[in-house]
Each structure stands twice: as structure tokens, then as C-alpha cells.
């Protein structure tokens, strides 16, 4: 039986994953794969990266995972993988030409594919899906056509917590998923609104915010938030940054979710954007004030405050990490921690 292109597909718990990370298991372009390694509940049976084959995931990435690193797709298939996740996010979100043969090989072997890039695969490779229940999931394809937002979220009585950042890749998704896990362990009735390809892949639902037309983006966020209206907490995964000249994502997240709280995410060692490098990051206290003012629009919307700061201190040693946390807490007055390194208690209690 061939592939049903109309059927919405996503990961099932029984799927065994091969994670394609070729050449990027130690680079920022491996962000999708790192999220999968940290948070996927599926069995990841192999990581494909010939540059690190035979080494451990933890030694290369610092992420505690026992999946073997193998040199080829053929080796991954020997471990029983039936789904290939493309774990690399190349600049511009385009499928590199040297991936084409790999994708065809995976489909011919009966594997399904999860693709989080802007380049879509379903139409292009549908004919290669010849096995029963085989599918291609282009995560960035919107599943709804949302209405124009009308600030309905502002009337909810729960806590809506939006993650904002000083830059792209500042840890917004990671902080969100860590806090989501923490809240569930505290038996807090919590919903998570995924807004990017990694969060959608992991949770099976959400909105690919950067795939919506600008006029519909606020409505897409609002619609997703309202599906969690009965939750006590709603965590909204952040995207982009007000500071970044190429980002427009923060405003629809603010307007669509009408947040009551924010968590600011920041890479501890950064004084400038990763790209373009000439843009300096302002004082965090000033940046917090900007986000709080923009969220409320002079009190028209809820007066959301930054309840805490989630730092990424992965490039710092223990002493340096503690010093920068203390410094930022002193400067901003906000509870500050690294949620991966030290857990979410400080931010959770603040909320």
C-alpha cells in the first residue's frame, strides 16, 4: 500500500529514530537534533555522523544519551530505525543537494522522514513512499488557517508564560521544555504551545510560526493558546528576539498569547548578537523594561512582568557560571539560573 499524502503524520511512541547529524553533531546548526536528543520520548537507536562515529553522544555534545554514533544510514538501519529525523538546520532552511541521495535511500528502505526545514519534501518525494504506513512529515506546514486575533487570551484567568530572548538560539525552547517538565512533576495543570519545528516534532502539535503570513501569525498563536484555556499554566515557546533586525516573531507571540509573565533567555557569555555581530546586546534591565512595556501597551493588555531569567552558561565553568548568575540577579532584581545546569526550582517558585 502506498503513502496517503492527505494523512497527517507524526511520530508514534513505537517509532525508532535514526537522527541525521552529519558534520554537525558539535555545531549550532545541530539545534534540531540536540532538542530531539534531550527531550524525545521515542527510542533514538542511532545518530548518524561519520565525523564522530564510535564516540559517545555525551562526549561530543554534553547531552546524556546512550545512542551510538554511526557513520552511515545503513548502519542505523541495522539498529532497527524506521524513522529518519533530519536533525540539522542549515542556514536559510534549505535542503542541501547532498542530502537528496540520503533521503531517497531512506525512503527506499521503508523509513518515514521528519523534516523541520522550510524546504518541503512531501510533494517532491511522495512517489518514493511505497511501503504501508510510510510517511513524510513536513513539520513547518501550517495545519490551520487561523482567524485574525482579537485578544481573547487576555480574558483567561490562568498564567500565560512567554519565553523571550536577547537573540536567536538563546535557549527559549530549552527553557520552556525544562519548565514544562518541572511543572508537570509539581502536578501543575500545564499546557505547552510549541511554535517551532523542534517543539512541534517533540509534542506532536503546535504552530510553525514562521510559516504563517504576518497578518495571520497573531491569530495562529491565539488559537493555539485557547486550546489550553483550561490549564492553570500555559507555556508559550518563544521565537526570535526584539533585538534582532531579521526577526518579527516576538510581537505576534505577545499579542496572540497576551502573557501574564515572561522568562527572559540569554546566552551568558554574549555581549553581541551571534549574527549580525555588530549589534550589541543592551543592559538586560533595559531590555526587560522594553519587553514589559511592549507587552502591556500602556496597560491596554495584561501587565506581564519578567518573572525570571534563564541563562545558558554552557561555555562557562562552575565558578564563572555562579558569578554571572549573581551579577545578573543583582543588576536586574530577577531570579536567575541555568535550567539545564541547575534545574527549574528558582524560576518555578518565582512563578
pTM of the entire predicted model = 0.93
Residue 4 pLDDT: 41
What does the pLDDT look like over 132-173, one tens digit per residue? Answer: 999 999 999 998 899 999 999 999 999 999 999 999 999 999
Residue 3 pLDDT: 41
What does the pLDDT look like over 284-328, one tens digit per residue? Answer: 999 999 999 999 999 999 999 999 999 999 999 999 999 999 999
Going by pLDDT thresholds of 50, 70 and 90, the confidence category of residue 90 is confident
Chain mean pLDDT for the chain: 95
Q: Tell me the average pLDDT across 238-249.
A: 96
Q: Which CATH architecture has domain 16-138?
A: 3-Layer(aba) Sandwich (3.40)
What does the pLDDT look like over 272-290, one tens digit per residue? Answer: 999 999 999 999 999 999 9
86: left (phi over 0), alpha (psi -120 to 50) or beta: beta
Q: Tell me the average pLDDT across 177-205.
A: 96
What does the pLDDT look like over 109-135, one tens digit per residue? Answer: 999 999 999 999 999 999 999 999 999
Q: pLDDT > 70: what percent of the chain?
A: 97
In the chain, what are the domain boundaries? 16-138, 152-350
Q: Which range, 140-144, 245-249, 257-261, is most confident?
A: 257-261
Going by pLDDT thresholds of 50, 70 and 90, the confidence category of residue 25 is very high
d(CA 127, CA 23): 29
Only one residue has cell 513547518, namely 140
Q: Is the pLDDT of residue 7 over 80?
A: no
Q: Is there a shared CATH topology between the 16-138 domain and the 152-350 domain?
A: yes
Residue 5 pLDDT: 42
Q: Tell me the average pLDDT across 247-252.
A: 96
262: left (phi over 0), alpha (psi -120 to 50) or beta: beta
Q: Tell me the average pLDDT across 52-65.
A: 96
Q: Tell me the average pLDDT across 252-264.
A: 98
Q: Is the pLDDT of residue 28 over 90?
A: no
**Structure-block grid coordinates of residue 231:** 490549564
Instruction: Return the HEC string of the chain.
Output: CCCCCCCCCCCCCCCEEEEECCCCCCCHHHHHHHHHHHHCCCEEEEEECCCCCCCEHHHHHCCCCCCEEECCHHHHHHCCCCEEEECCCCHHHCCCHHHHHHHHHHHHCCCEEEECCCCCCHHHHHHHCCCCCCCEEECCCCCCCCCCCCCHHHHCCCEEEEEEECCCCCCHHHHHHHHHHHHHHCCCCEEEECCCHHHHHHHCCCCCHHHCCHHHHHHHHHHHHHCCCCCCEEEECCCCCCCCCCCCCHHHHHHHHCCCEEEEEEECCCCECCCCCCCECCCHHHHHHHHHHHHHCCCCCCCCEEEEEEEECCCCCHHHHHHHHHHHHHHHCCCEECHHHHCCHHHHHHC
d(CA 284, CA 281): 8
The CATH homologous superfamily for domain 152-350 is P-loop containing nucleotide triphosphate hydrolases (3.40.50.300)
Find, among 44, 100, 123, the residue nearest to 76 by Cα.
44
State the burial class of residue 123 (Cβ atoms within 10 Å of its Cβ: 0-12, 13-18, 19+).
exposed
Residue 1 pLDDT: 32
Amino acid at each position: 500500500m502506498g503513502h496517503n499524502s492527505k494523512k497527517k503524520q507524526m511520530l508514534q511512541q513505537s517509532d525508532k529514530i535514526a537522527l541525521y547529524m552529519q558534520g554537525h553533531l558539535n555545531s549550532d546548526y545541530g539545534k534540531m537534533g540536540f532538542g530531539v536528543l534531550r527531550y524525545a520520548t521515542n527510542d533514538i537507536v542511532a545518530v548518524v555522523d561519520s565525523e564522530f562515529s564510535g564516540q559517545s553522544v555525551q562526549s561530543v555534545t554534553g547531552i546524556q544519551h546512550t545512542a551510538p554514533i554511526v557513520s552511515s544510514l545503513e548502519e542505523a538501519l541495522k539498529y532497527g530505525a524506521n524513522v529518519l529525523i533530519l536533525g540539522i538546520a542549515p542556514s536559510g532552511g534549505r535542503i542541501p543537494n547532498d542530502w537528496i541521495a540520503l533521503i531517497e535511500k531512506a525512503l527506499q528502505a521503508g523509513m518515514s522522514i521528519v523534516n523541520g526545514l522550510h524546504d518541503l519534501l512531501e510533494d517532491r518525494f511522495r512517489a518514493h513512499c511505497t511501503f504501508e504506513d510510510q510517511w513524510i512529515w513536513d513539520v513547518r506546514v501550517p495545519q490551520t488557517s487561523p482567524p485574525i486575533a482579537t485578544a481573547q487570551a487576555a480574558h483567561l484567568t490562568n498564567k500565560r508564560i512567554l519565553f523571550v530572548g536577547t537573540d536567536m538560539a538563546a535557549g527559549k525552547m530549552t527553557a520552556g521544555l525544562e519548565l514544562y517538565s518541572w511543572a508537570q512533576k509539581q502536578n501543575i495543570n500545564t499546557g505547552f504551545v510549541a511554535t517551532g519545528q523542534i517543539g512541534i516534532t517533540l509534542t506532536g502539535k503546535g504552530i510553525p510560526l514562521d510559516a504563517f503570513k504576518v497578518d495571520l501569525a497573531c491569530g495562529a498563536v491565539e488559537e493555539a493558546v485557547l486550546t489550553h484555556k483550561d490549564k492553570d499554566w500555559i507555556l508559550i515557546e518563544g521565537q526570535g528576539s526584539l533585538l534582532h533586525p531579521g526577526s518579527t516573531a516576538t510581537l505576534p507571540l505577545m499579542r496572540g498569547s497576551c502573557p501574564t509573565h515572561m522568562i527572559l533567555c540569554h546566552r551568558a557569555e554574549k555581549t553581541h548578537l551571534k549574527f549580525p555581530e555588530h549589534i550589541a546586546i543592551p543592559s538586560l534591565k533595559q531590555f526587560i523594561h522594553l519587553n514589559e512595556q511592549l507587552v502591556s501597551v500602556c496597560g491596554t493588555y495584561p501587565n506581564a512582568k519578567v518573572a525570571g531569567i534563564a541563562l545558558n552558561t554552557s561555555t562557562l565553568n562552575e565558578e564563572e557560571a555562579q558569578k554571572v548568575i549573581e551579577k545578573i540577579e543583582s543588576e536586574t532584581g530577577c531570579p536567575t539560573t541555568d535550567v539545564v545546569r541547575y534545574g527549574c526550582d528558582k524560576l518555578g517558585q518565582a512563578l
